[in-house]
Chains A and B, each alone.
Chain A
Amino acid sequence: MNDAARLAQLAISPSGFVFDPHTGGTFTVNATGRLILEGVRDGLGLAALTRHLERRFAPGGADLERDVLEYVARLRENGLLPAGFELH
């Protein structure tokens, strides 16, 4: 199964409940986390994800790029993204 097919199988509910049928693991993500996870699933890259967050939230002084990169690393660590996954 390729990366895209695995990602497509993730069940992400509007309330932030995430089920990974591949491992049986369940997670809770907040609204920001859900946007990033859905964006990654839909094939967005780093720049597009950051723009997406900027449109949806008032970022204040937050470093969105750093947050996205860190979050993707966490998704990888938790097996929600394949080990070799990199944002384009």
Chain B
Amino acid sequence: MTDRPPYVPPTLVRHRSGLMNKMGVGPVVSSRSSVAGVNVEALVEAYGSPLFIYDEQIIRARYRALHNALVLRYPKVALAWSYKTCYLDAICRLYHQEGALAEVVSGMEYRKARRNGMTPGQIVYNGPHKDDQTLTEALLGGARVHLDHFDELARCERIAEQHGCRPAVSIRLNLETSTLPRWDRFGFNLDNGQARDAVRRLLAGGRLRLTGLHVHLGTFILDVRAFAEATRKVVAFANRLRSERGIVLDTLDLGGGLASRNRLRSQYLPSDQSVPSFAQYAEQLVDGLSALDYPANELPTLVLETGRALIDEAGSLVTTVVANKRLADGRRGMVVDAGVNTLFTAYWYQHQLVPTQPTSEPPEPTMVYGPLCMNIDVVGNNVMLPPMAVGQRMLVTPVGAYNLSQSMQFIELRPAVCLVRPDGTHTLIRRREVLDDLTRAEVIPPWLGGGR
């Protein structure tokens, strides 16, 4: 009786006007069986499930696209790869190969960047906590240290005094825009005069050289005008520093914050209708720079510390269905082998979830959740999915940004990460964790059976 079609669990979808989109058609579920031209099943066979897959071609293409969009409009541009977005060494090295500097916010990240071949001068050092050892190394080595607060300014002066040098620093600004929530915990406020005080204080100390200004407005900024507004304010400040105090800056660092093609949980419009292009961002960022009162040969370098928008689309997660059930409210529940422990960004985004096998079965709203015994462990809340049998897989995209650096060893160990090359070959860049990875740093005292 091999001519019988394979059994598919029964489905029932009630037609509701709310489920129709504006075009008046019902939801369409696609499927996707490959990433970067490589069959997902083959990758899972090689590296297991769940599995993060990075596409090298997209990484390089996005970097080049942003760089090109900027150099088309401004002559001196540098991109600093924001380590926290994904600090796997292989990924960082791809960006460094493309010419990216490193943007770091801790001693750990600083050392990672050094190991990845960055000289101190190629490192942008941000953050409200810079430990003594790293700060000293960075100041003496000529890293681009961005001062976050007055206590740090004073620490830098002490280090300079101890070592008899006069290191270069930038100051981080925060400022108000008409549309964004304020990120005023970081840096010196430009609107209330704190930034001017910082400059006055720095010059009075005489131990540090001010060579740059930095501002990072926030993250996933969909409103391009905010960048124009910020740039104009920073440029006005730079002009005053030059005209009033003769300070010639070599760097204006406008931070990160460009949105990727993702969709916030609160967001109504899909990403292709809401996320600006690199060209649109670049136009706004550079527009404000035209007011810089600098001779052409002394123009400061424009630095961007873009993270999310460079890497998000390059990363996918494969996860496997481990169970189907009916929730009390009648909705279908699907348990998968990756939860918010692995996919931290599921808190913020409505990721795209598509099965890897094509099907003509009708989709129904499905709650997809992970292996944690926690109510918060929701990968997708109301995802239109066809019936999927235990063992079938789905792709979650785009998930390249902030997941590997923020994933937790909570209840489960972390999955493997592989990289697909432009020629279709693939390679492991982080192996699946084993129990020893979790316990290596632990110490069992002798009276509990541990060694001395």
Q: Do A and B bind each other?
A: yes
Closest to A36 in B: B10
Docked complex: B137-178 residues within 8 A CB-CB of A: none
A78-B14 CB under 8 A given contacts A16-B362, A30-B387? yes
- B10: which of A55, A60, A71, A77 is its contact (CB, 8 Å)? A71
Contact status A59-B7, CB under 8 Å: yes
B90 to chain A, nearest CB (A): 39
B8 at interface, CB cutoff 8 A? yes
- A57: which of B5, B11, B14, B330 is its contact (CB, 8 Å)? B5
B242 at interface, CB cutoff 8 A? no
B15 at interface, CB cutoff 8 A? yes
- Which A residues are CB-close (under 8 A) to B389? 60, 62
Contact status B10-A58, CB under 8 Å: no
A70 at interface, CB cutoff 8 A? yes
A82 at interface, CB cutoff 8 A? no
Contact status B4-A57, CB under 8 Å: yes
- B4: which of A28, A58, A64 is its contact (CB, 8 Å)? A58
A74-B4 CB under 8 A given contacts A27-B12, A67-B10? no
- Which A residues are CB-close (under 8 A) to B12? 27-29, 33, 71, 74-75, 78, 80
Q: How far is the CA of A27 from the CA of B15 in the complex (A)?
A: 5
- Which A residues are CB-close (under 8 A) to B13? 27-29
Contact status A30-B361, CB under 8 Å: yes
Contact status A62-B14, CB under 8 Å: no
Closest to A16 in B: B362
Contact status A58-B1, CB under 8 Å: yes
Closest to A64 in B: B7
Contact status B10-A33, CB under 8 Å: yes
- Which A residues are CB-close (under 8 A) to B330? 74, 77-78
Q: How far is the CA of A33 from the CA of B387 in the complex (A)?
A: 12
Q: How far is the CA of A28 from the CA of B6 in the complex (A)?
A: 20
Q: How far is the CA of A68 from the CA of B326 in the complex (A)?
A: 13
B2 at interface, CB cutoff 8 A? yes
Q: How far is the CA of A51 from the CA of B4 in the complex (A)?
A: 14
A25 at interface, CB cutoff 8 A? yes
A88 at interface, CB cutoff 8 A? no
A13 at interface, CB cutoff 8 A? no
- Which A residues are CB-close (under 8 A) to B362? 16, 28-30
- Which B residues are CB-close (under 8 A) to A58? 1-2, 4-7
Produce 1/0 per residue, A46-87, CB < 8 A to B: 000000010111111010100110110111011010000000
Q: How far is the CA of A24 from the CA of B332 in the complex (A)?
A: 24
B325 to chain A, nearest CB (A): 9
- A56: which of B4, B361, B387 is its contact (CB, 8 Å)? B4
Contact status A30-B11, CB under 8 Å: yes
B18 at interface, CB cutoff 8 A? no
Closest to B329 in A: A77
B246 at interface, CB cutoff 8 A? no
B9 at interface, CB cutoff 8 A? yes
Contact status A25-B6, CB under 8 Å: no
Interface centre among B12, B14, B326, by most A CB within 10 Å?
B12
Closest to A33 in B: B10
Q: How far is the CA of A28 from the CA of B4 in the complex (A)?
A: 23
Contact status B15-A60, CB under 8 Å: no
- Which B residues are CB-close (under 8 A) to A67? 9-10
A13 to chain B, nearest CB (A): 13
Closest to B359 in A: A30
- A32: which of B1, B10, B15, B326 is its contact (CB, 8 Å)? B10
A9 at interface, CB cutoff 8 A? no
B70 to chain A, nearest CB (A): 49
- Which B residues are CB-close (under 8 A) to A31? 5, 8
A32-B14 CB under 8 A given contacts A58-B2, A70-B326? no
- Which B residues are CB-close (under 8 A) to A36? 10
A74-B326 CB under 8 A given contacts A16-B362, A30-B362? yes
Docked complex: B2-31 residues within 8 A CB-CB of A: 2, 4-15
Contact status B6-A57, CB under 8 Å: yes
- Which A residues are CB-close (under 8 A) to B10? 29-30, 32-33, 35-36, 67-68, 71
Q: How far is the CA of A30 from the CA of B6 in the complex (A)?
A: 13
- Which A residues are CB-close (under 8 A) to B7? 32, 53, 57-60, 62, 64
A-B contact pairs, 21 of them (CB 8 A): A16-B362, A26-B15, A27-B12, A28-B11, A29-B12, A29-B362, A30-B361, A30-B387, A31-B8, A32-B7, A32-B9, A53-B7, A56-B5, A58-B1, A58-B4, A59-B7, A62-B7, A71-B12, A74-B326, A75-B12, A78-B14
Residues on A lying within 8 angstroms of B by beta carbon are: 16, 25-33, 35-36, 53, 55-60, 62, 64, 67-68, 70-71, 73-75, 77-78, 80
Supply 5 further A-B pairs (C-beta < 8 A) apart from A29-B362, A30-B10, A53-B7: A26-B15, A62-B389, A67-B9, A71-B12, A75-B12
